[in-house]
Chain A
Amino acid sequence: MDLGSISLVAFFASLMVASTPILLAALGEMVTERAGVLNLGVEGMMIIGAICGFAIAIESGSAAAGFLGAAAGGALLSMLFAILTQFLYATQVPSGLALTLVGVGLASLIGQPYVGESPPLMGKLHIPVFESIPFFGPVMFQHDPIVYLSLILAVLVGVFLKYTRGGLILRAVGENHDAAHALGYKVRLVRVMAIGFGGAMAGLGGAYISLIRVPQWTDGITGGIGWIALAIVVFASWKPERVVFGAYLFGGLTALQLNLQAANIPLLFVLPYLVMLAGVIYFVIAVAVGSWKKTLDVKPTLKTFAQFIGVGLVLLLIGIATNYASSLDLLMLSSAPFVATIVVLVVISARSKGASNGPAMLGKIFQAH
């Protein structure tokens, strides 16, 4: 075991890189779902974005042009879904799954001539002044422009949904499309635009993988990240700040797991403490914010805090009981997307009894009459 060999700066920097594609795709999907449309084709749109971005970057010699092309490609593919679900009234779940199949196959076809090519690289954008802050500089302010773009987009999406008229209309369409229609809003147009935005964002996320994170083209390059993005939207209760948190949590776990392996430390050896630490941080922030806003409700805060600590203790016990068996690391790493999906389903079904946080019209077909 060699904890010292993990460079914290490098770790947090790689965490941000690993999280960015998930964040981009999840933000887009969140907007789509807030308009009441469940598009399960994120993986397909991501991989189309990955290959469109890659091809255009190579042909034009510019990574920035590649990203624009990726957004266009993802949006274009999502229009197929829009036609199916908004004009032909196809059911959304199978249409979305089909979109993934189409996307993966099409990307493979388009990608044939691009195997083994190296794309033009996107330079890093060091933010002046901030980049020289010790620790935080190299971690947060010495990245490629897309990392910043993803965070700026998260803020913009949040502001759009909460404070603008357009956001209000979009949410109205997602919560009650009949009422929105009766008020004269163009439900179908809003939804088509939301689907297109989701496609463009997924495309950006895919291109981030093929142009920056890997950077090259091979079949199946997105490797299930689209599914994780889908799961995160539900986990995050369709709230942008929580989507950011979820994306960074998942990206962080991926980066952490790899770093721990290289340093030869079992994941279960550190995970319990991290979970408990997260609980403490949550508690401190909740108390601080609560007493500042004078809305502190001690009981639920304590309950959540206790849940964090409880999960941490359970993980600690599992670790000790199994003597930190490496097979559990394997399980956590390789089954993460599946486990995430299952937990999401559990959460959804649990919520459907009480007040649901999801858009009320999610997945429902709207037909104007």
Chain B
Amino acid sequence: MFKKILATTALAVGLAGAAFADDKTKVGFVYVGPINDGGWTQGHDHGRQELEKHFGDKVETVFVENVPEGPDAERIMTQMALTGTDIIFATSFGFMDPTINVAAKFPDVKFEHATGYKQADNVSVYSARFYEGRAIQGTIAGRMTKSNIVGYIGSVPIPEVVRGINSAYIHAKKVNPDVEFKVIWIYEWMNPAKEADAAKALLEQGADVILQHTDSTAPLAAAKEAGAIGFGQASDMYDFAPNPRVSSIIDDWAPYYIERTQAVMDGTWSSTNTWGGIASGMVGIGEITDAVPADVKAEALAMKDAIVAGTYHPFTGPLNKQDGTPWLAEGEVADDGALAGMSFYVEGLTGEIPQ
């Protein structure tokens, strides 16, 4: 009985929501972490706030944080779709199949899935070329390390993360042939205690530069204690500047969210595949602090300019795969398809990618 009342109420609220939605565009966001993680989810939520600022009364945004990658995500997106949401941004790789499933049930609702590769008529995918930022980080890391050991905290072994490790390694190696990467996978996007432990294990084994593909600031706190350096991930993490945070990769989703919401308003929305980089502003490079020597900073910025100008691609041959087989010939540039599905290390990296 109680359940029935609940369901009726929910339906009524849903209908009311749908009625109101006529003049307002309702935008939903599904987050994998908390909005104050200081990293990935905070970046997306910043985009959501900018969206509200841009459109004012014309939009209404809703979000759900800490959504597990699985059936729960499906339930929450269904709920959003039922309550009159016009466009839903699902902001984690693991929401891919749930998004596709829910989208099939609601053909009139638009879905946008971040960092995935499955599209449908009402599902777009979008991601950022973080590997461009990783190339710059790798350059700084290669120049800055004194022990020649760079620690890398990997999150979940998917192509996006592997691409980042490869890009950072290639460019660290380029400026410092003796550099060695130690990688720890924690199999989660955010777990501060585990990230701290991983950072400490890397520091204990001689790393003096820590790169992270996880979302909390715990590795920076560990680096600070050990006198090592690190980089902001996804958000600027400027609280840790100028040391240990010497630079950062910042995700700026706001322009994309504004553009796509506008398309929904205009009725021009169509399923697309967007992969923006530094040039389009989706990937930002946080201020390189004075803890980095001027010549290294200049070198890093020159690379950034070359990437923006399109004269340099971080994955340019000659490059071999880890087992020594040739991948890219001299001067050859990796195409987006190869990058999107990257599941191998480049030559020189040790260890294997967990499958």
Contacts and interface: CB of A to CB of B under 8 A. Distances in A.
B36 A218 contact: yes
A351 interface: no
A220 B34 contact: yes
A263 B350 CA distance: 10
Counting chain A CB atoms within 10 Å of each CB, the highest count among B37, B190, B197, B350 belongs to B197
B351 to A, nearest CB: 4
B325 interface: no
A175 B184 CA distance: 46
A325 B197 contact: no
A259 B194 CA distance: 12
Contacts of A295: none
A108 B187 contact: no
A214 interface: yes
B218 A216 contact: yes
A327 B157 CA distance: 11
B190 A118 contact: no
B204 to A, nearest CB: 4
A122 B285 CA distance: 34
Contacts of A215: 221
Interface string A6-38: 110011001000100000000000000000000
A225 B205 contact: no
Given A18-B197, A262-B151, A262-B184, A220 B66 contact: yes
B355 A326 contact: yes
> Number of contact residues on B: which range applies?
35 or more
A10 B204 contact: yes
Interface string A174-216: 0000000000000000000000000000000000010001111
Contacts of A264: 182, 350-351
B168 interface: no
A261 B184 contact: yes
B290 to A, nearest CB: 20
A7 B205 contact: yes
B204 A259 contact: yes
Contacts of A263: 182, 205
Contacts of B350: 264
A161 to B, nearest CB: 29
Contact of B192 (A216, A258, A261): A216
Interface string B201-230: 110111100000000111001000000000
A209 B192 CA distance: 9
A214 B193 contact: yes
B138 interface: no
A115 B191 contact: no
Given A218-B34, A223-B191, A6 B197 contact: no
Given A218-B37, A218-B38, A223 B200 contact: no
A352 interface: no
A216 B197 CA distance: 13
Contacts, number: 111
B179 interface: no
Contacts of B294: none
Nearest to B182: A262
A262 B351 CA distance: 9
Contacts of A213: 193, 196-197
A131 interface: no
Nearest to B239: A116
Interface residue tally of chain A, by bracket? 35 or more
Interface string A248-263: 0000001100110111
A90 B177 CA distance: 66
Contacts of A115: 36, 38
B185 interface: yes
B354 A327 contact: yes
Interface in A93-112: 108, 111-112
Contact of A255 (B183, B188, B190, B201): B201
A218 B33 CA distance: 10
Contacts of B216: 216, 218
A327 B196 CA distance: 22
Given A5-B206, A261-B183, A326-B355, A221 B193 contact: yes
B7 interface: no
A11 B37 CA distance: 28
Contact of A220 (B151, B184, B190, B198): B190
Interface string B89-129: 00000000000000000000000000000000000000000
Interface stretch (A277-285, A328-336, A342-350): A328-336
Contacts of A327: 354-355
A84 to B, nearest CB: 20
A218 B200 contact: no
B192 A218 contact: yes
Contact of A116 (B183, B197, B217, B355): B217
Interface in A302-340: 325-327, 329-330, 333-334
B167 to A, nearest CB: 20
Contacts of B151: 262
Contacts of B197: 14, 18, 213, 254-255, 258
A276 B150 CA distance: 34
Per CB-CB distance, the 3 closest pairs between chain A and chain B, nearest first, are A219-B34, A10-B204, A258-B201
21 contacts: A112-B36, A209-B193, A214-B193, A216-B192, A218-B36, A218-B37, A218-B190, A218-B192, A219-B33, A219-B37, A220-B33, A220-B34, A258-B198, A261-B351, A262-B151, A262-B182, A262-B183, A325-B355, A326-B355, A329-B354, A330-B354
Given A220-B66, A259-B205, A262-B151, 8 more contacts: A14-B200, A116-B217, A218-B38, A222-B193, A261-B201, A262-B184, A330-B187, A333-B186
Interface of A: 5-7, 10-11, 14, 18, 108, 111-112, 115-116, 118, 209, 213-216, 218-223, 225, 254-255, 258-259, 261-264, 325-327, 329-330, 333-334
